[in-house]
Amino acid sequence: MEPKGDIAVIGLAVMGQNLILNMNDNGFTVVAFNRTVSKVNDFLDGEAKGTNIIGAQSVEEMVANLKRPRKVMLMVKAGEVVDKFIEMVLPHLEEGDVIIDGGNSHFPDTIRRTKMLEEKGMLYIGTGVSGGEEGARKGPSIMPGGSPKAWPLVKDIFQAISAKTDSGEPCCDWVGENGAGHYVKMTHNGIEYGDMQLICEAYQLMKEGLGLSTDEMHEVFTEWNKGELDSYLIEITRDILGYKTEEGEVVVEQILDTAGQKGTGKWTGISSLDLGVPVTLIGEAVFSRCLSALKDERVAASKVLKGPGTSFEGDKKVFVKDIEKALLASKLVSYAQGYMLLREAAKEHGWNLNYGGIALMWRGGCIIRSTFLGKIKEAFENNPDLHNLLLDDWFKGVIDDCQASWRKVVQEAIRLGIPVPAFTTALAFYDGYRNPRLPANLLQAQRDYFGAHTYERLDKPRGEYFHTNWTGRGGNTSASTYTV
């Protein structure tokens, strides 16, 4: 009998199950397999009852049920487990078959695996899948990268199951070679860290600075979600602030203020340091989570260390509008930084990234989905060679409109002693980026003074290095120049 399976999915945790059900809804025949085989039977007797999903009890059975070229998707824990399954599946596959990793793998692993499988004549895809459990079931944002020849083989399935924009475009397209898909997903998560931190800073300013109640803040977020900030994260924040138990308890105010993290924000920060790109907002967002985790220390310090002892004395309504603008301007900076990182990573790894397409993939299904991403897509449509999003007309216009409010919010937060690291670093970046003369001349002088590291001069061509004998001692020997 001819095999019927269009694709196999290994890993029946919630994401895997939901993705399989989504594929089934879209008319694809999926073969399901899991390490703990009893879960295959549980799935077939439960959620998958009455569907066309085929359960496999072994890797052999799974492969035997697949049409050629075979497609095997892993929805398992990132790390060694992925390598283990690749090793298990590989002997049963043949040239031209595709293995797809849909987990949150770190991009260097995906680069390594793509190379290894291509050397054996197989194809590999590492894909970001974003949108959580609900996204997986109803339409996630899917960011595939890997072997370019594999894309036409999975395109129909992936684009069918992905989220769609309001105009019906799939939030899934080919990202680029080897680790590009997982890199873009990692950057997405980093940007998500930034967006969340900005929202939390706005919340704290309104709560501590203005003394607004959760009900009042619920109203504010309801309004914000109707404007430029319209997005999934603003929407859920609105709902969280409006959520009360039957007993009237405001749950968000009972939650311990220590943030967890799984590491993708940290990876983004590390990659930006490796590549030398100032992705400052995501960095601050990661560090803010770290600071929040020092709960006991903070509680102890709060009894010793003093703040300014000032309180807000303006028009609260006006200031809420200022915060909205500060949030929008900071968010623009964060996305501009994220895209700077993508550009540098593309250069480093030889990826041919489609920047507008990436914004489109994030437009629906994923955690950072927002109307604003449509503007990023437009910016790259207007100018495919756009060097920095901040230089796009729409972005520039928004910043011009928000700038006064943004500065006012940062000043007021500092005056009140309320930490707003993401708002602040965004503004500092903006002021640094638009400044043609930063104080790095002094820094180079210091480096040359203590380490003879040399410097370039304004009045000489780039690449010519000079050394000054600053002290009159130590001679004229210079250390070699190097850039880290």
CA separation for the pair 167, 164 (Å, rounded): 8
Asked if 12 interacts with ligand 2AM (CB under 6 A), we say yes
Q: Which stretch binds ligand 2AM (CB under 6 A): 29-37, 420-428, 460-468, 471-479?
A: 29-37
> Cβ of residue 3: shortest distance to ligand 2AM, in angstroms?
23
Asked if 132 interacts with ligand 2AM (CB under 6 A), we say no
Known catalytic residue at 262? no
Binding ligand 2AM by CB under 6 A: which of 64, 78, 81, 418? 81
Asked if 36 interacts with ligand 2AM (CB under 6 A), we say yes
Give me the catalytic one of 192, 284, 324, 412: 192
CA separation for the pair 402, 396 (Å, rounded): 10
Binding ligand 2AM by CB under 6 A: which of 7, 8, 11, 73? 11
Give me the catalytic one of 39, 185, 331, 375: 185
Q: Decide: 394 and 166 in contact? Cβ < 8 Å.
A: no
- The residue with tokens 């937060």 is 413
Binding ligand 2AM by CB under 6 A: which of 76, 89, 98, 220? 76
Start-to-end C-alpha separation, the chain? 60
> Cβ of residue 15: shortest distance to ligand 2AM, in angstroms?
8
- Residues found in the chain: 484
Asked if 13 interacts with ligand 2AM (CB under 6 A), we say yes
Asked if 35 interacts with ligand 2AM (CB under 6 A), we say yes
Q: Which stretch binds ligand 2AM (CB under 6 A): 30-38, 43-51, 153-161, 448-456?
A: 30-38
CA separation for the pair 218, 42 (Å, rounded): 41
Asked if 477 interacts with ligand 2AM (CB under 6 A), we say no
CA dist list (Å): 468 to 415, 443, 478 = 43, 14, 9
> Cβ of residue 229: shortest distance to ligand 2AM, in angstroms?
34
Asked if 42 interacts with ligand 2AM (CB under 6 A), we say no
CA separation for the pair 227, 445 (Å, rounded): 48
- The residue with tokens 């020849």 is 149
Binding ligand 2AM by CB under 6 A: which of 34, 65, 110, 162? 34
Known catalytic residue at 185? yes
* Angle at the Cα of 418 from the Cα atoms of 414 and 422, rounded to 5 degrees: 80
* Angle at the Cα of 474 from the Cα atoms of 471 and 477, rounded to 5 degrees: 115
Asked if 89 interacts with ligand 2AM (CB under 6 A), we say no
Q: Strands (DSSP E) along 104-255, which ranges?
A: 123-130, 141-146, 176-177
Q: Give kind and range of the element (H or E) at residue 337.
A: helix 316-349
**Site residues (vs ligand 2AM, CB under 6 A):** 11-13, 34-36, 39, 76-77, 81, 84
User: Catalytic residues, which ones?
Assistant: 185, 192
